[in-house]
Structure 1
Amino acid sequence: MGRVVLVTGVSLDLGGRFARRIAADPTVGRVIGVDVVPPPGDLGPVGFVRADIRNPVIAKVIAGQEVDTVVHLSVQPGVGRSSGGRSTTKEHNVIGTMQLLAACQKAPGLERLVVRSSADVYGSSSRDPAMFTEDMDGKRLPRSGFAKDVLEVESYVRGFARRRPDVAVTMLRPAALLGRREESPLTHYFRLPVVPTPLGYDARLQFLHEDDFLDALVHAAVDGVHGTFNVAGAGVLMLSQALRRLGRPTVPVPGFLLDGLGSALKQAGVPVPSRELTSYLTFGRGLDTTRMRTMLGFTPAHTTEEAFADFARWVSPGLLPLPRQATATQGAPIETEVGLG
């Protein structure tokens, strides 16, 4: 009959696309999508159940549908969801995960759990290592926002894994996602007509193409590999290079003023970097993906540079001339600018 897969967060683009893709896998018999609101588009062969994972009724859905694989994708930074404020987003991310895990705890037929986490769990600071392995902690852990949510989510998932050693639990920590459809505070930042940047810093950034993340999720759900895995494209890109490739003029701003500017502009309805995003844009972050390749058995099709190039194709060009060519090697991007020798 094939696997029975339950996917949370199918009203969001990532969840809906994943549900349709996993439904096409020959090892999967049925896919049930769950969310608080109906998806905006057709899910094809995916069955939809309108349910709130913050409600214990989710346990009845898992038991009634005889689910053996749960893929939890509704942990989100809030972008793309209906308005409700930061408190609603946190409640959905943290309380929703707690209730979902409680339901999974009671499901004797459950065999696999895949959870979308984020590389934001590492935070960003000047004392961080060049590359984070999955066993490392950040020197300054996040204290607010989505990054703090995923820290809490991961702690609950680890507790579940200890209580249910019979379940293969996979946590994926993707680097910053980029692509045509991806919406996040970072993609909104890259679309600003004039971009504030941290004065005196040029962060090393690592990206993951949205299609590669979908492939990684399918791979984890089908193969059932237990563990926590960084997922990122090879190589890095400097913040200054990324903005030049978008043709965006920049305004260097001291860090403490950038936070204050963000608060003022946010009240005016202008999308600006949050405090956690400001730290990332200041200090950057690198992910060691050895475990992804060797244990998870997955390699992204796009490098960091290729993921950004594809994203740039769908972004309206900025006010400045674009580089004539841009090539990069692992960890050492090089580019030639128009008008320079």
Structure 2
Amino acid sequence: MTRTVLVTGVSGHVGARVAIALAADPEIDRVIGVDTAPPPSPAGEDGAVLGRTEFVRVALRSPDLVKVIRDADVDTVVHLSLVSGPGGGRAGDTGGRPAMKEHNVIGTMQLLAACQRSATVRRVVVRSTTAVYGSSPHAPAVFTEDTMPVEVSHHGYARDATEVETYVRGFARRRPDVTTTTLRFANLMGPGVDSPLTRYFSQPVLPTVLGFDPRLQFVHEDDAVEVLCRTARADHAGVFNVSGDGVLLLSQCARRTGRPVVPMPSPAFRLVSGVARGARLVDFSPEQLSLMSHGRAVDTTRLAAELGWRPKYSTAAAFDDFLRSRGGPGELPRAVVDWLADLLTGR
């Protein structure tokens, strides 16, 4: 039985939701949320954002984390603190790529070392990403958990997640008595999700790579929270892909948004991405740029068989719910709009 849960990354949207959901479970005695800053309070609201979750301000790399785990007799650790880009959307996080890598990789190493030394930890759940498979013209149509990536990313979030999974496998070998679960999530969608992909689809003009129509998969934030809570409450050892059923082509996503599409050669697409990054609209990493060309799809049979559960939202339903939560197209800076107009008219 789960008694005391430690949740990392509670300043993030999903981390906060998971902590709140677990704290509401009467069968769980105590939930401790750790991060370098608490989640931001909704405007006009007072009181504890995390419900009865006990917030502890501590970095993953801090030796104080060992003390938190030991003193609270933590038996379950849910690690949700990996960030997908510099700044990562975490409260108080303004670091660049070096800080991101130190947090993701070194921080996870420190957390796993603390778990390894603990006499009480018996379950560890780690949030990972399907980005570990990469996106390539040589990739299989569908990735299973046992499929090796055709091209391994050497930078960014995908690289960090690959390294993190290596350390998780090492931890599982050293502590076979601890149930270790790795959840590889497709891109999250939902009203509360703020990511490079949700920002891309929120723009009034959608640049695409000429000649490519990638397959995309999404998982709704509600389903992500549900599967994380399920694996925190019961033993489900192994690696699992997590995605809503089905796929959407990028062209289908664009039609659903109602926004105009601007197909452009790959170099021009990368240039536009750079302009958008400079304007702080969309921060596309190299692996995300590859996704927009080659796409990616994963098989979730193992998850359904192990948990006896399927996501409530399909890929299409998750995307539609995200769109319903957005009031209308965002605004591009005038310089970007003029540049796109010149590109379309050939000037």
- With the length of structure 1 as denominator, give the TM-score of the two structures: 0.90
Offset from partner CA, 1:271-314 (integer Å, 9 cap, x none): 25322111111111111111010023321011111111101101
For 1:63 and 1:158, the matched residues in 2 are separated by: 23
Give structure 2 stretches of 5+ with no counterpart.
42-48, 331-347
Deviates more, 1:265-274 or 1:92-101: 265-274
Q: Which amino acid aligns with 1:34?
A: V
Q: Deviation of residue 202 (structure 1)?
A: 0.6
Task: State which drifts further: 281-290 or 261-270.
Answer: 261-270
Q: Secondary structure at the match of 1:28?
A: coil
CA RMSD of aligned residues (A): 1.5
Given the superposition, is the C-alpha separation of residues 194 and 272 from structure 1 closer, same or farther in structure 2, using an over 3 Å criterion?
Answer: farther
SS class of match (2:30): strand
Aligned residue runs from structure 1 range 1-341, under 5 A: 3-41=3-41, 42-78=49-85, 79-81=88-90, 82-318=93-329
Q: 1:216 Cα deviation (Å)? A: 0.3
Q: Structure 1, unaligned stretches of length 5 or more?
A: 320-341
**Number of aligned positions between the proteins:** 319
Deviations 1:62-107 (A, max 9, x none): 0011000000000121431231122212211111101000100100
How far the C-alpha of 1:316 sits from its partner, in A, is: 3.3
TM-score by length of 2: 0.89
Q: Which amino acid aligns with 2:285?
A: S
Q: Name the SS of the counterpart of 2:184 in structure 1.
A: strand
Distance in 2 (CA, whole Å) between partners of 1:277 and 1:134 is 20
Which residue type is aligned with residue 226 of structure 2? D
Code of the aligned partner of 1:61: V
Q: Aligned partners of 1:272 and 1:171: how far apart in 2?
A: 26
Pairwise CA distance, 1:108: 1.3
Worse-matched range after superposition: 23-32 or 205-214: 23-32
* Distance (Å, rounded) in 2 between the aligned partners of 1:230 and 1:38: 29
1:209-266 superposed Cα distances (whole Å, 9 cap, x missing partner): 0000000000101112100000111111110110111111111121233223323442
What SS does the aligned partner of 2:312 have? Answer: coil
- In the TM superposition, what whole-angstrom CA distance separates every residue of 1:310-333 from its partner, at most 9, and x where no partner exists? 0110123449xxxxxxxxxxxxxx
- The one-letter amino acid paired with 1:33 is G
Q: What is the rounded CA distance, in whole Å, between the counterparts of 2:277 and 2:225 in structure 1?
A: 31
CA contact (8 A) 2:199 2:281 kept: no
- The 8 Å contact of residues 77 and 125 in structure 2, kept in 1 or not, is answered as yes
Name the structure 1 match of 2:340. Answer: none
Q: Distance in 2 between matches of 1:272 and 1:44?
A: 32
Conservation of the 8 A alpha-carbon contact between 1:204 and 1:236: yes
Cα deviation, 1:178-202, whole Å, max 9, x if unaligned, reads 0000111111111121111011011
Aligned to 1:171, what secondary structure does the other structure show?
strand
Kindly provide the amino acid, as one letter, of the partner of residue 66 in structure 2.
A
Change (3 A) 1:144 1:2: closer
Between the aligned partners of 2:193 and 2:215, the Cα distance in structure 1 is 21
Q: CA deviation at 1:43?
A: 1.0
CA contact (8 A) 1:134 1:229 kept: yes
Amino acid corresponding to residue 289 of structure 2 in structure 1: T
Answer yes or no: is the 8 Å Cα contact 2:2–2:233 preserved in 1: no
The answer to whether the Cα contact below 8 Å between 1:247 and 1:317 also exists between their aligned partners in 2 is no
Find the aligned partners of 1:316 and 1:171 in 2 and give their Cα distance: 35
User: By how many angstroms is 1:27 displaced?
Assistant: 2.5
Distance 2:238 2:128 in 1: 12
